[in-house]
């Protein structure tokens, strides 16, 4: 009996101390410990969330800084000189208040702008969608023009041929299976390229930074049309809704998502502000040196005068990058305003986006005059901002839309100030002041 027990005990000890078993136990132990350390590593879901948040920020920023902005900035810097810094500063402030109001209300509700509008004022969603679609189409005609100008500088191709090639690239993005992910990647890469190249041109142009800083806060002149055009071109029309609609499409909504939403909005606003001021300084540096600005292609003159032939080619890259990202943003957001009205529109939204880009290209080829189109696109979209923001501010107080969420009073006040300022400047612009 005792011998049997000793034998069993020996067998158990051999099993416990078996080399293979020890290796397995050690492996399990170290896997456990390594998994503990890996807890802080982002999961695939977290990486995807961060990518969408950053993609929405870049979509808004690159939509705001399109070819229209490049042209408008040069044209108005030539007219207002250092005082144009005040217009940019005001546009950044208005941008912050408009974006935070619209992004937060829409993502809390989980509904797009047109649906929120219809629930706030019956029928207003259709009006807002029509205004956004028309404004987006006008803006996209200018964007297509910008792609043509960019490729013309880079390759010597006729502007019309460059526009057609670029439209084909934009269409291809929405024909692939994961169009949303491709769109996020494209706008992020091209956005970074734009920032780096514009900052280089600022360095080359050696602008009077001290004077620009002073006149940004103490302007010698204020131009109502410049404000409406620049704000319209950077936060007007579809642009204010672009990032919010992208987040909603990706399933980021509800009160619990507000930290991510705010982070995305602030990132987009910061990127836009950096590019705006950098381009303004580059243009101001060239004008201060009393170099000629070509009215046929104002921003190209800035880059060429600042950095010679290399600067001219850099302009081609920046113009094309700004234009193609804005083509993508305008088409995506404009169609997102009409696709929820019908299940058929929802399921065929990518094909409608393709048609939107195609129509924009055909209209540009028919009318030409890219610089004029680029400036007026911003002005038209500036009139839309007060309408869209008013509806969103009213919606922020309706429980049927935002539930128990309490919209911050300071955001409400700031939002109504933006509405008042933009409405007043729009009236002054129409009156010709």
CA–CA distance, 377 with 279 (Å, rounded to integer)? 19
All residues at 6 or more sequence positions from 333 whose CB lies less than 8 Å from its CB, including other chains: 63, 132, 136, 238, 239, 241, 242, 245
The span from the CA of 311 to the CA of 304, in Å, is: 5
Structure tokens at 375: 């400036």
Measured in degrees and rounded to the nearest 5, phi and psi for residue 297 equal -155, 75
pLDDT at residue 33, rounded to an integer: 42
The confidence score (pLDDT) of residue 165 equals 93
In contact, 379 and 366? CB cutoff 8 Å:
no
Write down the domain spans for the chain: 42-431
**One pLDDT digit (tens) per residue for the chain, 433 residues:** 544 544 554 454 454 445 444 444 444 433 434 344 444 555 655 666 677 777 667 766 766 677 777 777 888 888 888 888 888 888 888 888 888 898 889 988 888 888 888 999 898 888 888 888 877 787 788 888 888 888 888 888 888 899 999 999 888 888 876 666 777 677 778 778 878 888 888 888 888 889 988 988 988 887 777 776 776 666 666 777 877 888 887 788 888 888 888 888 888 888 888 888 888 888 888 888 877 777 777 778 888 888 888 888 888 888 888 888 888 877 887 888 777 777 777 777 778 888 889 988 998 888 766 556 555 655 666 677 788 889 899 998 888 888 888 888 998 999 998 888 877 776 766 665 4
Question: What CATH number belongs to 42-431?
Answer: 1.20.1740.10
Q: Locate the DSSP E strands across 281-349.
A: none
Judge whether 276 and 92 are in contact, CB under 8 Å: yes
Q: What is the DSSP letter of 45?
A: H
């Amino acid at each position: 009996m005792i011998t049997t027990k000793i034998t069993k005990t020996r067998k158990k000890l051999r099993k416990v101390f078996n080399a293979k078993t020890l290796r397995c136990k050690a492996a399990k132990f170290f896997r456990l410990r390594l998994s503990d350390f890996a807890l802080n590593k982002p999961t695939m879901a977290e990486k995807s969330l961060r990518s969408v948040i950053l993609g929405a920020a870049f979509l808004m920023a690159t939509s705001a800084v399109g070819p229209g902005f490049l042209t408008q900035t040069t044209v108005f810097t030539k007219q207002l000189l250092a005082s144009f810094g005040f217009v940019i500063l005001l546009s950044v402030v208005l941008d912050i208040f408009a974006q935070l109001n619209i992004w937060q209300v829409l993502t809390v509700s989980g509904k797009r702008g047109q649906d929120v509008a219809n629930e706030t004022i019956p029928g207003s969603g259709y009006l807002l969608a029509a205004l956004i679609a028309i404004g987006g189409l006008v803006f996209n005609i200018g964007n297509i023009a910008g792609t043509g100008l960019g490729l013309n500088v880079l390759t010597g191709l006729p502007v019309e041929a460059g526009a057609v090639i670029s439209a084909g690239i934009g269409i291809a993005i929405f024909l692939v299976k994961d169009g949303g992910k491709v769109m996020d990647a494209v706008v992020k890469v091209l956005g970074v390229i734009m920032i780096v190249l514009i900052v280089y041109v600022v360095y080359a142009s050696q602008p009077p930074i001290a004077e620009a800083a002073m006149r940004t806060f103490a302007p010698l002149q204020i131009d109502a049309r410049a404000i409406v055009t620049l704000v319209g071109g950077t936060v007007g029309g579809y642009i204010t809704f672009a990032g919010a609609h992208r987040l909603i499409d990706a399933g980021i909504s509800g009160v619990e998502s507000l930290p991510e939403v705010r982070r995305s909005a602030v990132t987009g606003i910061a990127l836009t502000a950096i590019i705006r001021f950098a381009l303004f300084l580059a243009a101001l540096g060239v004008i201060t040196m009393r170099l000629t600005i070509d009215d046929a292609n104002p921003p190209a003159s800035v880059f060429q005068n600042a950095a010679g032939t290399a600067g001219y080619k850099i302009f081609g890259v920046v113009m094309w990058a700004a234009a193609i990202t804005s083509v993508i943003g305008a088409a995506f957001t404009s169609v997102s305003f009409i696709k929820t009205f019908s299940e058929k529109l929802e399921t065929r939204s990518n094909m409608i986006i393709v048609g939107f880009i195609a129509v924009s290209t055909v209209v540009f080829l028919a009318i030409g005059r890219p610089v004029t189109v680029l400036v007026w696109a911003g002005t038209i979209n500036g009139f839309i901002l007060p309408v869209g923001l008013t509806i969103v501010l009213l919606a922020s107080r309706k429980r049927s839309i935002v539930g128990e969420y309490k919209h911050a009073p300071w955001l409400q006040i700031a939002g109504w100030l933006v509405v008042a300022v933009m409405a007043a400047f729009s009236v002054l612009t129409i009156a010709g002041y």
